[in-house]
Amino acid sequence: MKKIKIKYLFYLLLLVIVTTVVVDTIRISKYKITLRRPTEKLDIRVDEIQYKLANGETEIDWNLLDGTLEYVKAEYDCSDFRLVNLVRILYEAGDQIPEGYKAKIEEVLFKFRYWWDEPGENSMCYWSENHQILFATAEYLVGQMYPDTIFQNSGLTGKQHMNKAGKRILDWLEMRWNYGFTEFYSGTYYTEDIGPLINLIDFARDEEIVKKSEIVMDLLFYDLAAQNINTMFISVSGRAYERNRKGGTGSTLGGITRYFWGDGKENGPGMTYGMMTTQKYELPPVLVEIAKDSSNVIIKQSNGLDISELKTEGYYGTDNRSMMMQWGMECFTNPEIVRNSMTHIRNCNMFSNDFIKDFKTLDFTLINWLHLEPVIVRILNLQTNGAAIQKGDTYTYKTKDYSMYTAQSYHPGTYGSQQHIFGMNIKNHFSIFHNHPALEKDINFSSPNYWVSYGHIPHSVQDKYVNLSIYNIPEKKGMMEMALLDYTHAYFPTEKFDTAFIDGNYVFGKKGETYCALIGANDFKFRDDANDDIIQKEKQTFWITEAGSETEDGSFDEFVERINNNEVNFNQETLELAYQSNGKNYQLKFSADFKLDGKKINTNYSRYDSPYVNAEKKDKTLTFKYNGKSLFLDFENLIRSY
């Protein structure tokens, strides 16, 4: 009898499981994905209109804003980019807008979904660091302009939107003060922080928001100044695309660096044009001095948090502030975060969002009840885990002739989505770097791809003008890995050098007075007919990069001879690399220690460690000093003096 009861209980349990799975499968199959972009290109002219108005034009064809309003009304991704100058137009030239057209603008703004917790569904990316401040700024400033109006989508008044967005703004600003930018040194996304920050500085009426925005703008400009070389802003980064790695004369953050410490030429229409016209933000002179410094300097810095730090820092829950930090780090599928992601997606009705639609495969009741999400993603070892932008302990060595930069010991061997781990700037002409491609060259995918991201991140370390990087590519492809290529490669544009040549497993380049050398474990060769793409075969290998100059090394021939005479040893089994150069002994073991002359080097840095500023994380005040000028910042007490 007992066996019969157990048998029936088993059948009942099986029936419940099968029924639950079937019901969930039907429910999940009905999720409809919203469009991320319009099916036909819309004519977006908002930046052009704002530019004309800011420069005194009075004859405006307001119908040219129709494409922008249609885009924002449909809540296509990056609508928040369009809101930067649309809001600026309302504040700077609202009295010039015809009443009928202004009503059209207001209708779009009052029905907009400003944050993930509001009614509605779309495929806008709310969560990355730049989008967070873009959405919050737009919501705050529109609410401030229309405090008593009830916004039709949310049912909230403008003042309630102000209060809601103001909290997010202050949380976002505090994160940047305490930990720096998650998307550190991003040649793309710093632009999209500047746009909303200058709007807050110019138009917000709350002293705390204005002053803290000015302070964080100063921190952003310190990053630009310290990492740039002769106005070219290319460095390691939490998020970098191909152009943010290869460098060139256009790498000036849309002309921002050129305007403030270059030739002074103004930017044209765009998200940062407010920096050209602002009457309220002045760049502290010390930051211009730092940008122009051509002496030999070492700049160490800690940017962001590791996932392992989230709990102790109070960002581990599913509250709004915690999710801003977690998803701002692009932590979605990581085992520590995946249940938070699922809770957040359910709470905010986001399974229809095209960016995160694949989470529906985890939206099964039994998986949720049994807390199986972390187990599943660990087993699958999802490549999306590599999207997480964790703490960057960055090391930059700058001279008048070059700069070299590394995210020290950044999670060796893991997947990498848009991180840029190592590179060297050949003055301000162009850059060189190496990576393990996540996909082959002929596969068209935005990120990861051949030049963007890493199939597997190297263990990369630097001391002054020498970088050591070891790659340990697995023998077998991960269960969900897009590809597993058996080579690494370097961007080394020989046609841009004055002199460049490959000699076995060495490659040398000279541009003006700047020299560079790459050394590998195996012979180098150009890919197909390329003259900028150097391939090194095998999965367990290394790249050594050494920079030099006429000032430091004499002639280029002398530099080449010295490098050729340096001793190199690599154990492919233990993944240990040793290199001797200029009387120094460098040793690196993969996922272990970096040693210089036998002494272990600490690559965990304080918040700032440079000739210009020294501070720990979450210090109450910061003081930047250089060349007789200074900047003092006290975030909590709203003090900014220079």
How do residues 210-233 score in pLDDT, each as one tens digit? 999 999 999 999 999 999 999 999
**How far is Cα 633 from Cα 207, in angstroms, rounded to an integer?**
15
Question: What is the number of other CB atoms lying within 10 angstroms of the CB of residue 87?
Answer: 25
What six digits make up the tokens of 599? 């002494």
How far is residue 519 from each of residues 104, 138, 237, 362, measured CA to CA in Å?
A: 62, 50, 24, 45
pLDDT in tens, 15-30: 889 999 999 999 999 9
Q: Is the per-residue pLDDT at 479 higher than 90?
A: no
| d(C-alpha 524, C-alpha 526), whole Å | 7
The closest alpha carbon to 129, from 313, 389, 349, belongs to 389
Closest CA to 222 of 547, 640, 638: 640
- Entry field: residues in the chain: 642
282: left (phi over 0), alpha (psi -120 to 50) or beta: beta
Q: How far apart are the C-alpha atoms of 445 and 418, rounded to whole Å?
A: 13
* CA–CA distance, 387 with 454 (Å, rounded to integer): 10
**Measured distance CA(595)–CA(581) in Å, rounded:** 14
Of the pLDDT bands very low, low, confident and very high (cuts 50, 70, 90), residue 622 is: very high
pLDDT at 233: 98
pLDDT recorded at residue 16: 84
Question: Which residue type occupies 588?
Answer: L
What would the pLDDT profile of 374-431 be if each residue is shown by its tens digit?
999 999 999 999 999 999 999 999 999 999 999 999 999 999 999 999 999 999 999 9
Over the chain, what is the mean pLDDT? 96
Tell me, what amino acid is at 544? I
Torsion region of 101: left, alpha or beta (phi above 0 gives left; psi -120 to 50 gives alpha): alpha
Q: How many whole angstroms separate alpha carbon 572 and alpha carbon 475?
A: 14
Cα separation, 96 vs 101, in Å, equals 10
Which 3 state secondary structure label does DSSP give 225? helix
Edge-first strand listing for the sheet containing 459-463: 459-463, 466-472, 540-549, 514-520, 506-511, 499-503
Domain ranges of the chain: 2-33+306-386, 121-303, 390-601
- Which residues are CB-contacts of 19 (< 8 A; sequence separation ≥ 6)? none
Is-cis flag, bond preceding 448, omega within 30? yes
Distance CA 277, CA 202 (A): 10
**Cα–Cα distances in angstroms (integers) from residue 28 to residues 22, 35, 350, 360, 570, in the given order:** 10, 18, 13, 7, 52
At 617, the pLDDT band (50, 70, 90 cuts) reads: very high
In order of 115, 303, 516, 557, 558, the CA distances from 554 in angstroms are 58, 36, 13, 8, 6
Average pLDDT over residues 259-275: 97
Assess whether pLDDT exceeds 90 at residue 446.
Answer: no
Gap between the Cα atoms of 516 and 295, Å rounded: 19
**Cα distance between residue 162 and residue 149, in whole Å:** 12
Residue 4 has pLDDT above 70, yes or no: no
Q: Which of 396, 417, 407 is nearest to 459 (CA)?
A: 407
* Predicted local distance difference test score (pLDDT) of residue 1: 56
Inform me whether the pLDDT recorded for 612 exceeds 70. yes
C-alpha angle 349-355-361 in degrees, rounded to nearest 5: 70
What does the alpha-carbon distance between residue 299 and residue 5 come to, in Å, rounded to a whole number? 71
The Cα–Cα gap between 364 and 361 comes to 7
pLDDT in tens, 449-463: 999 999 999 999 999
Query: Is the confidence at residue 114, as pLDDT, over 70?
Result: yes
Q: Which amino acid is at 25?
A: T
Q: How far apart are CA 89 and CA 243, in angstroms?
A: 31
d(CA 4, CA 479): 41
Q: Give percent of the chain above pLDDT 70.
A: 99
What is the enclosing helix (H) or strand (E) of 407? strand 402-407
pLDDT for the residue 591: 98
Structure tokens at 327: 């998803």
Residue 569 CA: distances (Å) to CA of 243, 576, 637: 34, 8, 54
Average pLDDT over residues 52-62: 96
Averaged pLDDT for residues 583-603: 98
For residue 588, is pLDDT > 60? yes
pLDDT recorded at residue 7: 77
Backbone phi and psi for residue 422, each to the nearest 5 degrees, phi listed first? -155, 150
| pLDDT bucket at 2, cuts 50 / 70 / 90 | low
Q: CA 102 → CA 63, 96, 110, 141, 507, distances in Å?
A: 11, 9, 12, 16, 61
Q: Which amino acid is at 468?
A: L
Alpha helices, DSSP H only, in 417-555?
A: 550-553
Tokens of 213: 């925005």
Sign of CA dihedral 248, 252, 257, 258: positive
Residue 240 tokens read as 């970098």
Can you give the pLDDT at residue 8? 78
The pair of structure tokens assigned to 374 is: 């972390």
Average pLDDT rounded to a whole number, residues 80-91: 98
The rounded distance, in Å, linking the Cα atoms of 489 and 493 is 12
**Helix, strand or coil, per DSSP, at residue 173:** helix
Mean local confidence (pLDDT), 128-134: 98
- What is the mean pLDDT of the segment spanning 530-541? 97
Task: List all residues 6 or more positions away from 573 whose beta carbon is below 8 Å from its beta carbon.
Answer: none
What is d(CA 348, CA 379) in angstroms, rounded to the nearest whole number? 27
The candidate with the shortest Cα–Cα distance to 360, out of 350, 369, 370, is: 350
Amino acid at 427: K
CA 352 from chain center: how many Å? 25
Cα separation of 469 and 577, whole Å?
Answer: 9
**How confident is residue 156, by pLDDT bands cut at 50, 70 and 90?**
very high
Residue position matching structure tokens 């204005």: 210
Task: Tell me how far apart the alpha carbons of residues 633 and 642 are, in angstroms, rounded to a whole number.
Answer: 9
HSE value, Cβ hemisphere, 13 Å, CA-based, for 393: 17
Global pTM value = 0.96
Supply the pLDDT for residue 204: 98
